[in-house]
Amino acid sequence: MPTTFRLPVTRRSMALLAVAFAITACSSVANPASSGSTGSPVPSVPPGSPAASPSTGSTTVEIEHLTGAPDVILRVEQGGGFVPIDFLASQAPSFTLYGNGVVVFQQTLLTFPEPDGSGVIRTAPWRTAKLDEGQIQELLAFAVGPGGLGAARDQYVANGVADAPDTIFTLRAGGVDKKVVVNALSEETQAGPDSVARAAFSKLAKRLMDFDAGGTIPSDVYVADRYRGVLTAREPQPGLISVAWPWAALEPVDFKEGPSDGSAGPTLPHRTMTADEVAALKLDEIEGGLQGLVLKGPDGKFYGFILRPLLADEKE
């Protein structure tokens, strides 16, 4: 069992969150790079970087958190809105900070990847880096205080903007375990009772979703050891490009309908794929997953196949 510094929700832990609003500095000593879930060294974020920049001095009080590799202590993801089914099926967190300091994030893309000649879209790989404890503390303090999560309620709905996505924050630190769902955060903030809170959430989302400051902060490609494969029925049509079913030991019925752990997308037929099963596709540059691949099943039917890497805390 991982060592834990987490307290139950008591007067003391609530006081820690109140103090966190006033935290303005933390240790700037960086730890050496250590191994992440990929089994290869994970770059440490340099002190002073905009991604996680502790200033000199020491914190007034530390914000307690779990320290295990699969323990999510801060996360942001987007979901919902009017988007194609492939995007819903491959939805994933934009940023995750784990208790051991490992960060896994998606870089901000200026242009969306184009499909290749067979219609396959390769998703940009996730990136990973390592924070030291001082940097973890600074980032948690920012999320709780200037980022608005400490005083946030569970939901913020922007007058029912159905076609706008939700931004979902997760915070598990300082004795607090909460999810905050903010609808249409990317829209222009309107005047109203939630305008201050929305401005704070927007500040936090921008920091986490551009964690490496446009690629200027050292990071490495996140290589997953497990993937989620999603299978959708496709109707045959003229010009449809497909490839042969690549798995002798798998059939379409092995992809089961039901909720996907960690995903707010639809409950389409899916299964956890091993690295060897993914390698059987014989496609390169798919560390970040893919969309648009069409498989011709052993039953003679056509299937759309969607692939995305799984994170350390996701079971399937």
Question: Can you give the pLDDT at residue 45?
Answer: 87
Give tens-digit pLDDT for 111-124: 778 899 889 999 88
- Helix, strand, coil share (%) of the chain residues, nearest 5: 15, 25, 60
Pairing mode, if any, of strands 95-98 and 72-79? Answer: antiparallel
Residue 159 has pLDDT above 80, yes or no: no
Give tens-digit pLDDT for 42-81: 788 888 777 765 443 444 679 999 999 999 999 999 876 5
Question: Can you give the pLDDT at residue 46?
Answer: 82
Average pLDDT over residues 245-252: 97
Higher local confidence (pLDDT), 30 or 234 = 234
Specify burial of residue 183 (Cβ count, 10 A radius: 0-12, 13-18, 19+). Answer: buried
* In the block, residue with structure tokens 């200037």: 146
Nearest alpha carbon to residue 122 among 252, 254, 290: 290
Residue 38 has pLDDT above 90, yes or no: no
Give tens-digit pLDDT for 204-239: 999 999 999 989 999 999 999 999 999 999 999 999
Question: Can you give the pLDDT at residue 57?
Answer: 42
pLDDT band at 266 (very low <50, low <70, confident <90, very high): low
Q: Round to whole Å and give the CA distance between 314 and 207.
A: 24
Q: Round to whole Å and give the CA distance between 107 and 121.
A: 17
Question: Can you give the pLDDT at residue 56?
Answer: 39
* In the block, residue with structure tokens 């920012």: 142
Question: Can you give the pLDDT at residue 309?
Answer: 95
Average pLDDT over residues 141-165: 88
Q: Could you tell me the sign of the dihedral formed by the alpha carbons of 81, 113, 37, 211, in that order? A: negative
Query: 276 CB contacts (<8 Å, ≥6 apart)?
Result: none
Asked if residues 252 and 297 have their Cβ atoms less than 8 Å apart, the reply is yes
The pTM of the whole model exceeds 0.85: no
Average pLDDT over residues 252-278: 80
Higher local confidence (pLDDT), 169 or 43 = 169
Average pLDDT over residues 267-275: 91
Q: Which of 2-11, 96-105, 141-150, 176-185 has the lowest mean pLDDT?
A: 2-11
